[in-house]
Structure 1
Amino acid sequence: MVKSRLSFKFAGCLVSSLILNLLFIINIYVGGQWNLSWSSRAAAEAEAVAATSCSGHGRAYLDGLVVDGNTEPVCECNACYTGPDCSQYIPHCMANADGGDPLFLEPFWLQHAASSALVVAGWHRMSYSFDGSTYISKELERLIRKVHALVGNAVTENRFIIFGTGSTQVLSAAAYALSLENSSSPAGVVASVPYYALYKEQAEYFSSEKFKFQGDANAWKNKSDTSTNMIEVVTSPNNPDGRLNKVILQGPNVKTIYDRAYYWPHFTPITAPADEDLMVFTLSKLSGHAGSRFGWAVVKDENVYNRMTIHMQLSSMGVSRDSQLRAFKLLKAALEGEGRELFDFAYQTMKTRWERLTRTLSLSKRFSVQKINPQYCTFYNKFREFSPDQEAIGN
């Protein structure tokens, strides 16, 4: 009887010991992986700055200005607001109707702070390239193809994708790639009026021997000289009037760049997947992150892609690896779940703002707002109005 009791106690102790050791092992190999070490300080700093109150009219940043001996960055106020916490409204503040920042998407990213946050190690991507052979993150390229497939705004199958420092650099690389190598005269770059002013400014600033800005595409439509090499930039949706522009010039000596920066559901109906030879997009219009300076082109012809790649390598050795990492994290967060939440939020925000602006301007005897007929949107499966962030306002 005594021996039986001792055996029972021994068995109980053995089981208890096994359970305790099992829990200890689980804590080391499973629970331990969630204990932050080197990243905890960075995370704490980021959250502390993000918690700074700027009255909803500004934001404090880790790399923000530090003044008056303070250890924490101060609030950077939005337009028309000032003061230490951005709570003071500036009377008679003038609205900038010529441009702006895509800060309308900031509330979305505040709601998705955890999934979009990023801690970058001090040793992240110190090399000039990925795997010693490319300047492009293949995982980011995969996500770009995925977001286009989800939205249905561009064909990417059997296409090449190249990255640039914003769409500005991509457009420059495209003009370079489409220019003839041994031509005695520069190719003429044109766009239909009204066009994005940067096309003209960029071409004139770089003063390239390969291309020269030649103004309105319509002015060249009936030209008798068909030997001039032309590059037409088709902005669709157009900036500044939001219209879905079509190509104007035709002929064997005409090359086309489609600027598709605004071809997303929050700005315009998605009528069909764009399927042009060279299409340019930018992160700033997709997610609102203009400061990340990230753009890309979808290219059909391999020779054009290779020439664009040479331009990128010689001008900047590719896009910052940190910018690519951030773009990867943002697109990954945007594609969570069904991948529609970002577009639904952006569309409703733009729609509400556009309706409010339209009502306000309808009371004016000086200004008017153009009307674009609704079109069927394949993303929302319905006829819908345009909700551009920069529409044409006439006087």
Structure 2
Amino acid sequence: MHYNYTVINQKVLFSIYEPTVDMINNTMQILMISAVLVFSIALNIYLIFNRGGTATITTNQLNYYGSIHSSSSRDGGGEVNLISWSRAAAEEAEAVAMIQCSGHGRAYLDGLSMRGEAACVCNSCYGGQDCSVFTPDCAADANSGNPLFLEPYWMNHAATSAVVVSGWNRMGYAYEDGSNISKELEKIIRRLHAVVGNANTSGKYILFGTGATQLLNAAIIGLSPPPPHSDRDHSFSPVSVVASAPFYQVYKQLTDIYNSLNFKWQGDTSTWKNKSDSFGNFIEFVTSPNNPDCQLKEPILRGPYVKTIYDHAYYWPHFTAIPSPADSDLMIFTMSKLTGHAGSRFGWAFAKDEAVYKRMSSYLSINSMGASRDAQLRAFELLKMVVKDKARGLFEFGYKTMRERWEMLNKSLSKSKRFSLQKLEPRYCTFFKEVTGPSPAYAWLKCEREEDHDCYAVLRAARIISRKGSVFSVEDRYVRLSLIKNQDDFDLLLHRINELVSQEEQPDLKTI
């Protein structure tokens, strides 16, 4: 019961009324919102004075906020849930992640579906609704460099590596400073290199790209001279782009695809070794560790007209010992081989020369307006998690996995007189602060028999899919075997190698 009063001619008239349901609801809503605001202010004041000035909200507090609803929606009607808008998405993601697929596949939110529900995407040689059916005569596919060996690490760190993104996150073309680069991500990347000790980034500009591939092309353009002002300028000659065999075939493809007047692919560096001091301008690709043989490389060409692009995609402690920080004028890295997230298509480059940086930046802006904002957000969250424990967790897991794979493959092939592997020596690693054994991303295998001039065909007959040596501009007596795919792929590769080597011990029935 409520009382109301009205003053008329200096007389107070009292009346009694019953509150309506709407009036009670409105009053309760106002009180609830006021309570939330007061609680929020009090909470932040408490956190500022008790946690060194950093306002942190716990999971329980998020759940508390998420349980509060307001009927006064800003979009013109309907119910607004202050925090729990992410709950449905999280529940959907976790439900899909919980699908086991017999341990031989994965289900994805945007993957295959059956009757409206996520279905398993099976690993190579596995099938069936839950990926439990193995195909016995299936070939081991060791061709691609798909870095799925790190998948178990991220599954074991599901909570700390998850990314929740609102539907309105970074909808614009640029960041608030007008650039295409997240400044917070830049800080994390520079910090990561300082922690790992694999690159000196001070005094260098940073660029983000759609994977290392886009940055490699930007680097060629950045190091090439400006185009001639006139077609009549016959004194102009394109820059010669070279790499030392065996080399990553994308270098040639990137150079050729543009058919540019400014640069031209000129093949193996050794052809030009004695000419670079006096003949034309050169851009030399140096991949260290090298793809495919995983050797640490140095430039071959010297002279005032030689510029170098260092591709350090594999210069991380799980693939090689880090003897010292790289400190070159132009260095390229990628998240693909660092964290295994090749599908995010994110890479970065450090350029010392401002003019080179500006030309690269201009190309990246015109080509794609920089790296995706969503990719940068994912990179930020993942790399932030990596550096929290000074990168020990990721690299210890990665090194252990790759080291064990290399040792097992070496052991199997040590029994063979028909096949050999590249020689890699233990080195002192400044990151692990100890001598570490080889843990390469790839096996560079050679067929030693004179008649085995096509090593790819030899392995294919043994149900092993490799990558031909000619793809890397060397003879086909060599092949590359990828060691960085998922565990099923490696296990089958090792099984097929053991089968092949065991045949050497059996007599050839044709000669009996």
SS in 2 for 1:248: coil
C-alpha RMSD over aligned residues = 1.8
The code of the aligned residue for 2:289 comes to P
Q: What is the aligned partner in structure 1 of residue 206 from structure 2?
A: 161
Instruction: Flag the structure with higher strand content.
Output: 2
Match of residue 372, structure 1, among 420, 424, 430:
424
Match of residue 297, structure 2, among 217, 229, 245:
245
Q: 1:151-172 CA deviation, whole Å, 9 max, x = no partner?
A: 0000011111100000000000
Q: What is the aligned partner in structure 2 of residue 78 from structure 1?
A: 123
Q: What is the aligned partner in structure 1 of residue 272 from structure 2?
A: 220
Q: What is the aligned partner in structure 2 of residue 93 from structure 1?
A: 138
Q: What is the aligned partner in structure 2 of residue 198 from structure 1?
A: 250
The code of the aligned residue for 2:195 comes to L
**Worse-superposed segment, 341-350 or 71-80:** 71-80
Distance 2:61 2:188 in 1: 31
The code of the aligned residue for 1:257 comes to I
| 1:361 and 2:413 are equivalent in the alignment | yes
The code of the aligned residue for 1:383 comes to V
Match of residue 66, structure 1, among 113, 116, 123:
113
Closer, same or farther: CA 312–368 of 1 in aligned 2, 3 Å: same
The code of the aligned residue for 1:64 comes to G
- Within 5 Å, which residues of 2 pair with 1:139-150? 139-150=184-195
| 1:45 and 2:65 are equivalent in the alignment | no
- Within 5 Å, which residues of 2 pair with 1:176-195? 176-182=221-227, 184-195=236-247
The code of the aligned residue for 1:98 comes to N
TM-score (structure 2 length as normaliser)? 0.70
Q: How many residues align?
A: 371
Distance 2:398 2:276 in 1: 46
- Within 5 Å, which residues of 2 pair with 1:333-372? 333-372=385-424
Distance 1:315 1:290 in 2: 20
- Within 5 Å, which residues of 2 pair with 1:247-266? 247-266=299-318
TM-score (structure 1 length as normaliser)? 0.90
Distance 2:423 2:279 in 1: 38
Q: What is the aligned partner in structure 1 of residue 469 from structure 2?
A: none
SS in 2 for 1:391: strand
- Percent identity of paired positions between Structure 1 and Structure 2: 56
Q: 1:9-65 CA deviation, whole Å, 9 max, x = no partner?
A: xxxxxxxxxxxx9xx879953555333411111000000110112111111100112
Q: What is the aligned partner in structure 2 of residue 119 from structure 1?
A: 164
Distance 1:25 1:199 in 2: 58
Q: Is the 2:288–2:312 Cα contact (8 Å) retained in structure 1?
A: yes
The code of the aligned residue for 1:261 comes to A
Where has structure 1 moved over 3 Å in runs of 4 or more?
24-34
Closer, same or farther: CA 54–211 of 1 in aligned 2, 3 Å: same
Q: CA deviation at 1:264?
A: 0.3
Match of residue 287, structure 1, among 339, 355, 367:
339
The code of the aligned residue for 2:62 comes to Q
Name structure 1 gaps, 5 residues minimum: 1-20
| 1:136 and 2:181 are equivalent in the alignment | yes
The code of the aligned residue for 2:196 comes to V
The code of the aligned residue for 1:254 comes to V
| 1:105 and 2:153 are equivalent in the alignment | no
The code of the aligned residue for 1:160 comes to Y
Q: Is the 2:288–2:295 Cα contact (8 Å) retained in structure 1?
A: yes
Q: CA deviation at 1:383?
A: 1.7
Distance 2:406 2:37 in 1: 55
Q: What is the aligned partner in structure 2 of residue 33 from structure 1?
A: 62
Structure with larger Rg: 2
SS in 2 for 1:335: helix
Closer, same or farther: CA 28–49 of 1 in aligned 2, 3 Å: farther
Q: What is the aligned partner in structure 1 of residue 5 from structure 2?
A: none
Distance 1:349 1:377 in 2: 17
Q: 1:95-140 CA deviation, whole Å, 9 max, x = no partner?
A: 2333231111001000100010011111010010001510000000
SS in 2 for 1:162: strand
Name structure 2 gaps, 5 residues minimum: 1-31, 44-59, 67-82, 229-235, 448-512
The code of the aligned residue for 1:343 comes to F
- Within 5 Å, which residues of 2 pair with 1:257-276? 257-276=309-328
The code of the aligned residue for 1:259 comes to D
Q: 1:298-356 CA deviation, whole Å, 9 max, x = no partner?
A: 11111111111001001001010000000001001112233311110100011011111
Distance 1:252 1:98 in 2: 39
Q: CA deviation at 1:380?
A: 1.2
Distance 1:132 1:158 in 2: 21
Closer, same or farther: CA 120–221 of 1 in aligned 2, 3 Å: same
**Worse-superposed segment, 209-218 or 361-370:** 361-370
SS in 2 for 1:387: coil
Distance 1:224 1:354 in 2: 38
Q: Is the 2:386–2:394 Cα contact (8 Å) retained in structure 1?
A: yes
